[in-house]
Amino acid sequence: MKRFGIGYENYREFIEENLYYIDKTWLVRDVIEKGGKVTLFTRPRRFGKTLALSMLQTFFELEYDKDGRVVSKERYFDGKRIMEAPDELLSMMGQVPVIRLSLKSANQPDFNRAGLRIRDEIVSEYSRHSYLLDSKELSVLEKEHFYSFLDAVDERKLHTREEYQEEIFKYSTALKTLSVFLMKHHGRKVMILLDEYDVPLENAWENGFYDEMVGYIRSLFESALKTNDALFKGIVTGCLRISRESIFTGMNNLLINTIRESGFDEAFGFTESETMQMLSDYGIADRIPEVKKWYDGYCFGETEIYNPWSIVQYVYGTVIGKKKFPEPYWANTSSNRIIRELVYRTDDSLKAELDTLVEGGTIEKKIHEDITYGEIRESEDNLWNFLYFTGYLKKVSERIEGEDVFMTMTIPNAEIRSIYRNQISSWFEKKVKEADRSMFHRAVLEGDTEGMESYIRNLLGKTISTFDSTERFYHGICLSLLYGVPGYEVRSNREEGNGRPDIVLYPSNPRDPAILFELKERKKFAEMRDGIEEALRQIREKGYVEGILNDGYIGCRAYGICFCRKTCIVEKC
């Protein structure tokens, strides 16, 4: 078995270290034949965009060895699909100067630091092409201009806003300048690859300097991609399509390919056949139903797509780690802030729609792709659009009404549903802790079962369904509610009698009785009576009350509680 490429994003390393690689090299042909002068690909995070750009760079980039000979790239593509392409396309291999820039390091708390991190990436790319300082094709003045970009001001010497601004905006035309110099030296137009273009924008939106960052990214992109005679092809990747008015003003040479468009369906993520092949290669083809349930569900263009990050992690965990159950791997790598915001905004309409989604249903929303981060909070439709384009919802179908497109959407798979549920549970636990629990505590102390039921039902009615809410979920709710009952210490799953009751309140005053709760959960309302009877029977058969009395307490009140969705029954034993 080949080693896994977890954490690897450099295509050459996959080949040189013989790592398992699902062949996506056909993207080379598609970029040339189907792409625009500049092509923007938007896909969810961790769907292979960075690796794809690395592969394109490896294929196209014109490089020389120490003896001045052109480096052959064929060894990196031996046996790959792209080698089946026509000779005209293969003749481009290793013949195009390339500029590649990642903007992911701009995830910083303020504009100054974010701008300097972008500057540092540009300086690094200039350093990679520092051989231009020896070029016979560049004039002395051009070499001095080139060197001025290498000569970055030390961050510690920048003190005022004006000094930061001058240093950062000095680099706003640096990519165009570098491409012009590369074309002069090589005599060939340049390919520009820009990765994670929207990271600085999302980060700026979250940290309050969005307009500043938009202005800077616009100037950087316009000079490099819009008015650049040295440009052969530009490839830009990100998660969200940002409106032309925001970043790509007047860029008529831009082709945008989102998850809605066809043409590059299989370029990012794993197709079903690729996923099945990987499972088979590692001897776990019997896990296909589980993998499909957890990591399938995306639709790019007209093609069914699996989450590649989660698939690789799952296969590694199963084969190497001997894990027996799937996990929400993607949840640990992606920002779930937008889900948290959606859940925390729960007005009645949002709550009803989240209820529907979490229970496996669908919602219909008008789709509009040209939005800005600054507009996401302005309407619920923008929020749902953001969730769709970033991988938290998937398309079921769509229809046209007049000039508007309406899309029916649902949660893609079990992995993403777990993200919603975890955020909902976290939000609800926070709500419980913030709630005035004095009425509930009074009902508990007075043995008022109707009062306990009424309080819990009212609280559950304010949350969002979790569809397959487990006994553990309700256990957590009850623990949160029971903390702070005057004169009592709450303990969970402590051994008493012949078992472990779910929750016991132990009194600090020996004259007060202990209070015990046994919890059950049922999926159907008609089964709640059976659940409450099971709870009460367990209390008696396990001798919980006797065990507490044997500990020296003078009395014990015991209750069974059965939950179903947003309701419950409380009965005294």
Which residues lie below 8 Å from residue 21, measured CB to CB, with a gap of 6+?
5, 14, 15
Scored b (16 or more CB within 10 A) or e, 543-570 reads ebbebbbeeebeebbbbbbbbbbbebbb
For residue 341, which amino acid is it?
Answer: E
- What the chain holds in terms of domains, given with CATH numbers, is 29-45+95-257 (no CATH), 270-332 (no CATH), 337-417 (no CATH), 435-572 (3.90.1570)
| Secondary structure class of 125 (helix, strand, coil) | helix
* Structure confidence at residue 181 (pLDDT): 98
Q: Strands 98-102 and 190-195: what pairing?
A: parallel
Calpha distance 257→177 (Å, rounded): 27
84 in Cβ contact with 99 (< 8 Å): no
Calpha distance 298→350 (Å, rounded): 23
Phi-psi region of 76 (alpha: psi -120 to 50; beta: other; left: phi over 0): alpha
pTM of the entire predicted model: 0.86
User: How far is CA 346 from each of CA 341, 354, 384, rounded to the nearest angstrom?
Assistant: 9, 9, 13
Sign of CA dihedral 366, 371, 373, 379: negative
For residue 348, which amino acid is it?
Answer: D
Residue of 339, 363, 325, 349 lying closest to 422 (CA atoms): 339
Cα Rg of the chain, angstroms: 30
* Structure confidence at residue 380 (pLDDT): 76
| Secondary structure class of 159 (helix, strand, coil) | coil
| Secondary structure class of 204 (helix, strand, coil) | helix
Question: In this structure, what token pair is assigned to residue 103?
Answer: 């903007």
Question: In this structure, what token pair is assigned to residue 364?
Answer: 């219909």
| Secondary structure class of 248 (helix, strand, coil) | coil
217 in Cβ contact with 201 (< 8 Å): yes
- How many distinct helices (H) and strands (E) make up the chain? 22, 16
Cα angle for residues 173, 177, 179 (degrees, 5° grid): 120
What would the DSSP string read from start to end of 101-122? EE-GGG--SSHHHHHHHHHHHH
Calpha distance 376→248 (Å, rounded): 18
What's the farthest any 2 CA atoms get from each other in the chain? 97
For residue 104, which amino acid is it?
Answer: K
Scored b (16 or more CB within 10 A) or e, 216-244 reads bbbebbbbbbbebebbbbbbbbbbbbbee
558 in Cβ contact with 513 (< 8 Å): no
390 in Cβ contact with 45 (< 8 Å): yes
392 in Cβ contact with 416 (< 8 Å): yes
Q: Strands 404-410 and 394-401: what pairing?
A: antiparallel
388 in Cβ contact with 367 (< 8 Å): yes
* Structure confidence at residue 465 (pLDDT): 66
Q: Strands 404-410 and 488-492: what pairing?
A: unpaired
Which residue in this structure is represented by tokens 């650049």?
228
Name the strands in the sheet holding 394-401, side by side, starting at the edge strand that comes first in the sequence: 363-367, 404-410, 394-401
Mean pLDDT by 10 residues, the chain (573 residues): 92 97 97 95 94 98 89 96 96 97 94 97 97 96 97 94 94 97 97 95 89 91 92 94 68 86 94 97 96 94 94 96 91 66 69 84 87 70 85 92 92 91 78 87 96 93 67 87 94 89 94 95 94 96 94 94 93 94
96 in Cβ contact with 129 (< 8 Å): no
Q: Using the 8-state DSSP alphabet, how is residue 224 labeled? A: I
Neighbours of 40 (CB within 10 A): 25
Q: Strands 503-507 and 488-492: what pairing?
A: antiparallel
